[in-house]
Amino acid sequence: MSENSLARRRFLAAASTGTVAAAIASRSVPAFGQAGKARTLAILGGEPVRKNQSWPSWPYWDDNVVDSVVKTTKSRIWCRIQSASGAVPTFEKEFAERTGTKYCVATGSGTQALHTSVEALGIGPGDEVITSPYTDPGTIAAILCARALPVLADLDPDSFQLDPDDVERRITEFTKAIMPVHIMGQPCDMDRIMAIAKKHNLKVIEDACQAHLAEYQGKKLGTIGDVGCFSFQASKTIACGEGGAIIGSDEQLMDRCYTVHNHGTSRKGRTETIGPKYRMNEFEAAVLLGQLPGVEERFARRNENVAYLASKLAGFPGVVPQKRYEGTGRGAYYVYGMTYRKEHFHDADRGTFLKALRAEGINLSPYIGQGLHREPWVDHVLNAKVYQRMFPAERLQEYREQNVCPNCDAVCQNVVAFWSSGILLGTKEDMDDIVNAIFKVHENRDKLATI
Ligand SMILES: *Cc1c(COP(=O)(O)O)cnc(C)c1O
């Protein structure tokens, strides 16, 4: 057994018997992986754990991507309606295949995919959609653009996902759909959410914008609800700058999605309904097609690194990785999130912990600063004529009073995270640096009050 793994075992043994503080205070257990080398916190003048090393960069490109864009350029097929075999229709087929579903409609963004789905399901003014406050603004923008009302339910504080019990409590006579958000690319408790939807006859639009190719109970995320929506914005785990897609297996519904996203004009060329123009352009699809070879290897690498991080952090009480529900398979890991527990760091606040880590060369982020239930759109919407006309005054009053999500507030205060599309493509040594820096700060936690 190497010295490092021995040290780690002793650390874990100490942690499990509740003597971790004593073990560390006595310095009998060196920080994992950096034994004896860099003991003084970098912020207090010691050697940082990681010096000037770069992380794998994101978005990813290689010659495939460049060739694909050049090919599209030279083909003069720059818009999807020019050819049934252009880049967009080809990508739609490939993405449907890779997610194990029948149909795909590509859009210009994840927000557009979500808004198209809301419209195609006939949800509009006077309707409510229950979703999470802990998400990208695009989630609620999709509901608001249809002039429906986003109702924000609270979170499971350990998984950062929608709490199904709170979703059920917030169902009203106006509720038409649930929009579960698979935050950080891991699944919501979809078993419970689907059961609630069925019981109350609600549609389910999966916001899988962070959850490409992730799995739950053997199914790909995005294929469990009525439709699933994806984003290919530059930071996502499959990326083309700006782009999105809707997937589903209901032919009629997916045809309606096509019609809505094509300014209300069907595949047959009849202008039939209300719709914006949200078509993905051929260059975006060309980037995606160029990126698909190798996508499996990249997702496998991210998952290996996550398993490695989890094994290193197992039993460590100071930061606890995002909880996964039973049935969770492969993750997408758009973000790798953990809960910071300051009681294990001499009550140092999260900002101090992040500052000390940053000095060690590890830049973690608080991720989402505050839940969407705290943003100014709430007042804007409650004062807007269309909402006042479509909802009884008592409902809007009740909405305002109930727009509280204490678990989300706690999550926003305690999460430490990193954008992992690129970072999780790193080596084991890169992952060791993250863990070593965390352990080193923990080991020096009695000094955090001084920085
Ligand atoms: C990125 C994202 C969106 C919006 O996608 P865009 O392509 O940026 O419009 C929606 N929901 C979640 C959870 C996201 O991460």
Per-residue pLDDT tens over the stretch 394-448: 999 999 999 999 999 999 999 999 999 999 999 999 999 999 999 999 999 999 9
pLDDT at 32: 52
**b vs e for 418-442, b when ≥16 Cβ sit within 10 Å of the residue's Cβ?**
bbbbbbbbbeeebbbbbbbbbbbbb
- Is position 236 annotated as part of the catalytic site? yes
Residue 39 has a pLDDT of: 84
Residue-number span of the structural domain to which 356 is assigned? 3-60+294-368+410-450
Q: CATH number of the domain that 332 lies in?
A: 3.90.1150.10
d(CA 241, CA 231): 10
Query: Among residues 293, 327, 343, which one ends one of the domains?
Result: 293
- Beta carbon of 209 within 6 Å of any ligand 1 atom: yes
Q: How many helices (H) and strands (E) does the chain have?
A: 18, 12
Task: Confirm or reject: Cβ of 138 under 6 Å from ligand 1.
Answer: yes
Q: How far apart are CA 416 and CA 439, in angstroms?
A: 14
Q: Are residues 142 and 100 in the same domain?
A: yes
Same domain as 355, residue 440: yes
Residue 192, pLDDT score: 98
Token pair recorded at residue 319: 């930061």
State in Å: Cα 387 to ligand 1 middle. 25
CA dihedral 229, 232, 237, 241 (to 10 degrees): -170
In this structure, which amino acid lies at residue 215? E
Are 89 and 32 in a shared domain? no
Residue 18, CA distances (Å) to 11, 14, 163, 312, 447 in order: 10, 6, 31, 18, 21
Ligand 1 atom index nearest CA of 182: 13
231 and 306 part of one domain:
no
Minimum-distance ligand 1 atom for the alpha carbon of 334: 15
* Cβ of 186 below 6 Å from ligand 1: no
Q: How far is CA 387 from CA 29, 149, 378, 379, 380, in A?
A: 61, 8, 11, 11, 10
- pTM confidence score: 0.92
For the chain, the domain total comes to 2
How many whole angstroms from 268 Cα to the centroid of ligand 1? 30
Residue 436 lies in a domain: yes
Token pair of 13, please? Answer: 């043994």
Clarify whether residues 143 and 247 are in a common domain: yes
**Ligand 1 pocket, residue 139 CB under 6 Å:** yes
Alpha helices in 130-185 (DSSP H): 137-145, 164-169
Residue from 114, 131, 140, 210 to probe ligand 1 pocket by mutation (most atoms less than 8 Å from CB): 210
Closest residue (by CA) to atom 5 of ligand 1?
110
Choose between 32 and 340: higher pLDDT.
Answer: 340
Instruction: Report if residue 358 sits inside a domain.
Output: yes
Nearest to 38 by CA among 49, 29, 52: 49
Indicate the helix (H) or strand (E) that contains 321: strand 319-321
Ligand 1 pocket, 233 CB below 6 A? yes
> Tell me, what amino acid is at 137?
P
Percent share of the chain, pLDDT over 70: 92
| Side-chain-facing half-sphere of 112: CA atoms under 13 Å | 23
Considering the domain architecture, whether residues 360 and 255 belong to the same structural domain is answered as no
Q: Sorting pLDDT into bands at 50, 70 and 90, what band is 451?
A: confident
**Residue 26: its pLDDT value, please?**
33
Tell me the per-residue pLDDT of 84-127, one tens digit each, with 9 for 90 and over: 999 999 999 999 999 999 999 999 999 999 999 999 999 999 99
**CA 257 to CA 304: how far, in whole Å?**
36
Write down the catalytic residue from 176, 203, 220, 236. Answer: 236
Query: Ligand 1: which of 155, 231, 288 to mutate, judged by most atoms within 8 Å of the beta carbon?
Result: 231
Task: Please compute Rg for the chain using Cα positions.
Answer: 24
